[in-house]
Structure 1
Amino acid sequence: MILLSSIIETFETEFLERYQDSLLPSHRQALAAMKHCRTSHSPVMLAQCDDCESQRFVPHSCGHRSCPHCQQHESQQWLERQLQKQVPAEYFLLTFTLPNELRALAWQQQRTLYDLLIRCSWETVKAFTQNDPQLQGNAGAITVLHTHSRRLDYHPHVHLVMPAAAIDPNKRLWRTKKGQDRHRTGYLFNHQALAIVFRGKLLEAITLAGLALPDRYPQKWVVDVKSVGRGDQALVYLGRYLYKGVIQEKDIIACRDGQVTFRYRDSKTRQRRTRTLPGAQFLWLILRHVLPKGFRRARNFGFLHPNSKRLIRLLQVLLGVNPNQALAWLRKRPGLKCRCCGGDMRIVKTQMPPSSIRLAMSTG
């Protein structure tokens, strides 16, 4: 497996010379963090075995949310929180895509445009849920912003996972949506109608934010809607890119002659493909998806908001849903095992300088 830190080490100088005028502070911070993640230059932790008391040094991860090494535990915790909110309804995955003509504006005004993209996606499904004859109530949704395509090009879009259900706060009713006839199952809302409303809301929001729209942008926008059953797998897919960057190191398959090759799955054919780029360009492809500092990529709305925990629990009790069943198949975070006896190890000291290892070896 080719480590991203080694690619940064090889191409960093060329990358900084070529892209220095395009880099934001968040890009430089991510580059510095990932360069030293779990390397000989990173701080270390001291682990001790509970059985044989042998000790071992473990390098610290950098903790950056764009690093493919890090945040596995955080991703797991996020997924667990979402699965604990599952309700008895068919789930749908909706994807709201920003047209190509607006991507330059999004890049220049990332914090504003990303926020508007998320909020307008939610406002669109919220309005459709309130006006739907079968639902007529308040919706709930989980949204995750992605800025990349499978080829890692700049492609801002919002994934929204929502149950086909609503709560009527006035009549205190729980409603779910069924197929309109026996031949039409797995239907939530018309994707073309969603796209029209989403377009109007986002263009209006951009104008109200005081930003200038481009001279030309398309009349037809793209919104995709598909059924995802109970929603488990859709949440796993979203959680995969939530904290661990846009590429897994196992998909970096070559680094030679100044070129980096990675593989991806084509979204249309579902076939595996490869892409080869100069090393500096590959780093730019990765770093341009680093979000502004403090920006929340994942958000919950409506009755799936964190403030609605008691309401969700009440629904689960009344409707006979056991949230623990959804968590049963999740793999637990593997513990640190002793190399001598195979026992469990615990961390006894953290944030030690790398020189601690050399000092321990010299005195040992």
Structure 2
Amino acid sequence: MARSIPSLRLADVFEAGRAALMAQYGVRLQAHQQRAMAAITACRSGALGALDWRCVDCTGSRETLRSCGHRSCPACQNHSTTAWLERQRAKLLPVDYFMITFTLPAGLRPLAHAQPRAVYAALFKAAAGTVKGFGAHQLKAELGQCAVLHTHNRRLDLHPHVHVVVPGGGIDAARRQWRKVQGRYLFNEFALARVFRAKLLRALHEAGVSIPVGLPPRWVVDCRSVGSGEPALEYLSRYLYRGVIRERDLVDYDDSAGTVTFRSTARRKSFPLY
């Protein structure tokens, strides 16, 4: 029998469906997935204990249940998101910014599911190396970078990509001066994609990851101006400290069928960042 709960929590879904999930998919669940599920289920349930708050000036007291602090827990990470955004804002320079997005091609996405640590490390290494190389050769300067990994798209499909926010300029160490980008153009996207492809395949090979055959010769890299940079950071911060599915998108859990109904967002071709 289906049950409609006005404020369905992820912990409710995990608790109700844990036995069936483990029976069918237990051998396929990775350790970090099981740790996340256990932490979210225990969060503010009393299983982790409680804090007893007492006022030193009166007899008032209040007890709060301890939270899990897991980065995927929807109840725990608002403070972390706010703190990260404030740190990045403090680093912003009075220049225009650009966001370069490096997308893992479809042929490599199964590897990201099977070997996430190795694949995502290689993805970051290749993206950062590509930006650094283009800054050194084309701008003759060292660019600052802020890179954030997104593992899914708005439809919640596995779609790993790294967003790299860079200022429109960098330091020329030899001349000890600032080199500024002119206009709203940074680097050629097709050239970025070619170099990124070579660097990622080399990084995966060095990590011992078996690369499948038949990968497309042309990959996708997006490079766009994002104005002051703050809107781009705000966009990235929404996905930085949370799981893939937001609790407000949970619609229904069906006990008998063991199915969850949730909302997702249709893919948009572009989004405003300034």
| TM-score (normalizing by structure 2) | 0.89
Q: Secondary structure at the match of 2:45?
A: coil
Residue in 1 that maps onto 2:210: 212
User: Given the alignment of the two structures, is residue 33 of structure 1 paired with residue 26 of structure 2, yes or no?
Assistant: no
User: Given the alignment of the two structures, is residue 173 of structure 1 paired with residue 177 of structure 2, yes or no?
Assistant: yes
Residue in 1 that maps onto 2:30: 24
Q: Give the C-alpha shift of residue 255 in structure 1.
A: 2.5
Match for residue 108 of structure 2 among 102, 108, 111: 102
- Unpaired runs of at least 5, structure 1: 180-185, 272-364
Match for residue 160 of structure 2 among 135, 156, 173: 156
Residue in 2 that maps onto 1:198: 196
- Unpaired runs of at least 5, structure 2: 1-6
Q: Distance in 2 between matches of 1:83 and 1:269?
A: 27
Residue in 1 that maps onto 2:268: 268
Q: How big is each residue's C-alpha offset from its partner over 1:43-85, in whole Å with a ceiling of 9 and x where there is no partner?
A: 2111234665421111111111111111222222221111111
Q: Secondary structure at the match of 1:264?
A: coil
Q: Secondary structure at the match of 1:158?
A: strand
Residue in 1 that maps onto 2:253: 255
Match for residue 9 of structure 1 among 8, 15, 18: 15
Q: Distance in 2 between matches of 1:106 and 1:249?
A: 25
1:25–1:81 CA distance, 2 compared to 1 (3 A): same
Q: Distance in 1 between matches of 2:159 and 2:14?
A: 23
Residue in 2 that maps onto 1:354: none
Question: Given that residues 123 and 162 in structure 2 are in contact (C-alpha distance below 8 angstroms), is that contact kept between their aligned partners in structure 1?
Answer: yes
Q: Distance in 2 between matches of 1:98 and 1:152?
A: 15
Q: Distance in 1 between matches of 2:46 and 2:167?
A: 47
Structure 1: 4+ residue segments shifted above 6 A: none
Q: Distance in 2 between matches of 1:176 and 1:230?
A: 14
Residue in 2 that maps onto 1:116: 122
Q: Give the C-alpha shift of residue 261 in structure 1.
A: 2.1
Q: Secondary structure at the match of 1:38?
A: coil
> After alignment, is 206-215 or 221-230 more displaced?
206-215
> After alignment, is 73-82 or 89-98 more displaced?
73-82
User: Given the alignment of the two structures, is residue 138 of structure 1 paired with residue 142 of structure 2, yes or no?
Assistant: yes
Q: Secondary structure at the match of 1:245?
A: coil
Q: Give RMSD over aligned pairs.
A: 1.9
Residue type of the alignment partner of 2:224: K
Q: Secondary structure at the match of 2:91?
A: coil
Q: Secondary structure at the match of 1:210?
A: coil
Matches for 1:63-82 after TM superposition, within 5 Å: 63-82=69-88
> After alignment, is 10-19 or 248-257 more displaced?
248-257
Q: Distance in 1 between matches of 2:228 and 2:179?
A: 16
Q: Distance in 2 between matches of 1:61 and 1:206?
A: 37
Q: Distance in 1 between matches of 2:35 and 2:174?
A: 49
Residue type of the alignment partner of 2:10: L
1:264–1:49 CA distance, 2 compared to 1 (3 A): farther
Matches for 1:303-322 after TM superposition, within 5 Å: none
Residue in 2 that maps onto 1:244: 242
Q: Give the C-alpha shift of residue 5 in structure 1.
A: 0.7
Q: Distance in 2 between matches of 1:66 and 1:217?
A: 32
Q: Give the C-alpha shift of residue 221 in structure 1.
A: 0.7
Q: Give the C-alpha shift of residue 138 in structure 1.
A: 0.4
Q: Distance in 2 between matches of 1:236 and 1:52?
A: 41
1:215–1:270 CA distance, 2 compared to 1 (3 A): closer
Residue in 2 that maps onto 1:314: none
* Higher Cα radius of gyration: 1
Q: Distance in 1 between matches of 2:74 and 2:157?
A: 18
Residue in 1 that maps onto 2:232: 234
Residue in 2 that maps onto 1:187: 185
Q: Distance in 1 between matches of 2:225 and 2:24?
A: 44
Question: Given that residues 149 and 163 in structure 2 are in contact (C-alpha distance below 8 angstroms), is that contact kept between their aligned partners in structure 1?
Answer: yes
Q: Secondary structure at the match of 2:264?
A: strand
Q: Distance in 1 between matches of 2:94 and 2:59?
A: 49
